[in-house]
Amino acid sequence: MSEKLDFYNSLELTLLEAENLIADGVNNSKSLFHTPVLSTFVNKTISTRTVVLREFNAKKRILRFHTDNRSGKIDELKENSISSIHGYDPDLKVQIRLKGKTYIHIEDEISKNAWSQSREMSKVCYSVKDSPGLKISSPESFDIVKEEIDIELGYENFAVLLFCYDSLEFLFLKGAGHRRSLFDWSSNQLKSSWLIP
């Protein structure tokens, strides 16, 4: 975060600050925006989980995540793509909330590229024998032994999630006065406003 807090009273700079923080989260594992929370619908309830941010395109307003295509969230997202992302960094005292839709990519150009850019340690978990979330009698037999698998076969279980947002809410906590603002692209044109914190 910029030391001078130039964004403090500027909507324009607040949006840039938010985009910079999300972008930093891609490679900075110490940033809490590296592991935001993705929420989706399960019928009429809400399901939330931590995911690792793999890529951010501020211009297109897209965040990329990876998951196992056998996991519960895939069916949830096929049923209803409406979703949200939340992140809070207590050191920066910044919360970012994004609202949008998540699109699934399995065995297409997007998933192929993402898989080829993934490191071995990330690919390994896609070789787990059965669907994540399945009830099992004991966990040991599902531990992955690297020497016994062909890591590349995990691709058949791999999925890319592209989260596209049209609303970004930024909250900055500061003793002298909190700052909360909303950036809304739902009418295809950016509308920025301050909100009472």
Distance of closest approach, residue 152 Cβ to ligand FMN, in angstroms: 19
Which of 10, 20, 39, 47: binder of ligand FMN (CB under 6 A)? 47
Find out whether 190 and 178 touch, Cβ atoms under 8 Å.
Answer: no
C-alpha 182/C-alpha 168 separation (Å) is: 6
Confirm or reject binding of residue 170 to ligand FMN (CB under 6 A): no
Confirm or reject binding of residue 52 to ligand FMN (CB under 6 A): yes
C-alpha 58/C-alpha 93 separation (Å) is: 21
Find out whether 123 and 79 touch, Cβ atoms under 8 Å.
Answer: no
Nearest to 117 by CA among 38, 64, 49, 62: 64
Nearest to 93 by CA among 188, 172, 16: 172
Confirm or reject binding of residue 73 to ligand FMN (CB under 6 A): yes
Confirm or reject binding of residue 35 to ligand FMN (CB under 6 A): yes
C-alpha 89/C-alpha 94 separation (Å) is: 6
Alpha-helix runs per DSSP H in 69-172? 72-79, 109-117, 120-123
Which of 81, 132, 180, 185: binder of ligand FMN (CB under 6 A)? 132
C-beta closer to ligand FMN: residue 2 or 113: 113
Confirm or reject binding of residue 51 to ligand FMN (CB under 6 A): yes
Confirm or reject binding of residue 65 to ligand FMN (CB under 6 A): yes
Which of 133, 134, 178, 191: binder of ligand FMN (CB under 6 A)? 133
Distance of closest approach, residue 169 Cβ to ligand FMN, in angstroms: 22
Q: Which residues of the chain form contacts with ligand FMN (CB under 6 A)?
A: 35, 47, 49-52, 65-67, 71-73, 132-133
